[in-house]
Structure 1
Amino acid sequence: MRLALLHSPLVGASCWRAVVKDFAERGIWAAAPTLPAWDRVEAPFYGALAAGVAAQIAAMHPVVLVVHSGAGSLAASVVAAANGGVSQVIFVDAILPHPGRTWFQTAAPSLGASLRARVVDGQVPAWDQWFPPGALAATLPEGEARETFVRELTPTPLAYLEETAPQLDLPVGWAYLRLSKAYEDEAKVAREQGIPTLRLARHHLAMMTHADEVASALVNLVRGDHG
């Protein structure tokens, strides 16, 4: 079992650090590839970001690709770029692939309007600024993990959020791990399609605060033990 844990384009790779450590203690190989920085990629962004991930996992094949949050948008592109190197995809509190649609078309209209109103120099604010003051602090306790997570946050190009996802199918099996109620609709879609699905009653960044539970759930989904 080899797992590549991919962070959302809106945050950094440190969000998976605790789960990588937990897997290492279990003797399970896992790594958290880092998406290319925005100043190193150009449109079309989906292909450029996916190519960067594929290059990092090339020596690890085959891997289970685990995508969190906004990284769900990139899942099909990464699988295609990996050229057979991904055996399965697990979506973790993640949006599902949306070929032919933009990120804005997957988001709540109120959030989209708020972000468009706050664009500066073609970029939307860093992810932690999307929410009321104190929201992140209520989820992540003070300490090095939160400080590192916040340091990695940067503004996101509006052009990425407006880019239409490529018309790509997901040619491998997939599963869904819901961490928070905010992603219940996605978990329901997966369940209704007969997709292996697990739910944890935690929060969107539970892999940082409850790494053992998230790691165990991922193992169960890889092994097909999903209740």
Structure 2
Amino acid sequence: MTLSGVATADNVMNSLTGSVRAGRRAAWHHRGMRFCLLPSPLTVPAVAEPLAERLRSRGHEAVVAPGGATDVAEVLAGFVAAARGADVVVPHSNAGRFGPAVADAVGATLVCLDALLPGPEPHPDWVEVLSSHEQPDGLLAPWSTWWPRADLEAVVGDHKDLLTTDEPRVPLRLLLEQPPAPPGWLGRRSGYVAFGPAYADQAATAETHGWEVRRLDGEHLHLLTAPDEVADAILDVLDGLRDTHVTELVGVYDADGGLLGEAAYLWGRIRGSRHCSLCDITHSPWRRKPAWDAMVAELEVPVRLLHLNELDDELAGVVGRVGAPVVLGRAGDRWSVVASGEELDAMGGSVDRLGALLRERWGQGAGADPT
């Protein structure tokens, strides 16, 4: 936001996060969980109520975040306020852009439903489509009017009246402005439930980064038309997260090993064309840091450090998708990002900061129960 006197989304996050996420851990095995469902700003919150009712019938608490906000900062603040005390945050559709920030702010696990994920600026073609629905009053036409009647009825079934009663209208800027996302959010153990092909690329991105993903044969409002199936899928995702244990960590340098590789990297550093933040963390200019060896000795799993030319085909495929430098964790037959390149860059060569992040991720589901 740029208007004078209006809080920015980043400022909202700074004021709301506090110390909540540092200490909360969900007690998955001994009590019902508390869910906060985040409906898309383009639909009425009542769309999520059938799913909330099914979760309650399974012994859990469930609340639906209210709607009505018209800019990114307001939507984010409203979602975070509604999610206070939640074990699991469940955004649907366009609310997925806010999901990582909300889950991070309240210390909850994230399970997205057929949702957009934070990402780059919208494609110009999509901006053109959205702009075509902008009305003279500066607001978009109701979402239900964007589609041919037959297509809409295929999505909502017998629930058209619920969808269209008091349907919100929002300004175009709400869909174009990118909400803040916490560093390394894709590397955090999270879940995604896809309802069909519409968001297949988002589900694939989540799966590539080690999320628990389930795919249902349904339409975009499957949480409204088949809430029992969606509730079961959410709980199945959470079971998958709970039962996942990291058995190995692998740090991958953004450099080749061997005399030629190390010489090429050193020359690149001198010229300013190469830099590997994981190298800065594990090594001083002359040797491996004793602090690194001490930190690794305290971890509960083995740690390997590899160069790009030392990767097997499986790891090379993973690193080809997520980039290097990176710290990966193996859980069963799946690799996930434990510390991304962006996070490693921000550590300034600190072993202590990486150790703290690894221990935090352990508590968030990398090797124990997720939050």
TM-score, normalised relative to structure 1: 0.82
| Cα distance in 1 for residues equivalent to 2:181 and 2:212 | 24
Query: What is the RMSD computed on CA atoms of the aligned residues?
Result: 2.3
| Cα distance in 2 for residues equivalent to 1:168 and 1:57 | 17
User: 2:149 maps to what in 1?
Assistant: 133
Which of 1 and 2 has higher RCO (CA within 8 Å, sep 6+)?
A: 1
1:46-125 paired onto structure 2 within 5 Å: 46-58=72-84, 61-80=85-104, 82=105, 85-98=106-119, 101-102=120-121, 104-105=122-123, 109=125, 111-120=126-135, 121-125=137-141
Amino acid in the other structure paired with 1:13 = P
Which is greater in Rg?
A: 2
1:157-196 paired onto structure 2 within 5 Å: 157-166=171-180, 168-169=182-183, 170=185, 172-196=188-212
Amino acid in the other structure paired with 1:87 = A
User: 2:294 maps to what in 1?
Assistant: none
User: 1:210 maps to what in 2?
Assistant: 226
Q: Percent identity?
A: 28
The count of corresponding residues between Structure 1 and Structure 2 is: 208
Question: Secondary structure of the residue that 1:173 maps to in structure 2?
Answer: coil
Native 8 Å contact 2:39 2:92 kept in 1: yes
User: 2:37 maps to what in 1?
Assistant: 5
Shift of 1:203: 0.9
Pick aligned residue for 2:164 from 150, 159, 171: 150
**Cα 1:203–1:177 shift into 2, 3 Å:** same
Shift of 1:167: 5.2
**Cα 1:192–1:24 shift into 2, 3 Å:** same
CA distances 1:173-195 after superposition (whole Å, capped 9, x unpaired)? 31111111111111111112221
Question: Secondary structure of the residue that 1:14 maps to in structure 2?
Answer: helix
User: 2:51 maps to what in 1?
Assistant: 19
TM-score, normalised relative to structure 2: 0.52
Amino acid in the other structure paired with 1:112 = V
Question: Secondary structure of the residue that 1:123 maps to in structure 2?
Answer: coil
Native 8 Å contact 2:36 2:86 kept in 1: no
Question: Secondary structure of the residue that 2:149 maps to in structure 1?
Answer: coil
Shift of 1:93: 0.3
Shift of 1:168: 3.2
Native 8 Å contact 2:134 2:141 kept in 1: yes
Structure 2: which 5+ runs fail to align? 1-32, 244-331, 333-371
CA distances 1:139-173 after superposition (whole Å, capped 9, x unpaired)? 2233xx43122113222201212323335333853
Structure 1: which 5+ runs fail to align? 39-44
CA distances 1:19-72 after superposition (whole Å, capped 9, x unpaired)? 11111221121111113343xxxxxx32221111222232xx142000100001
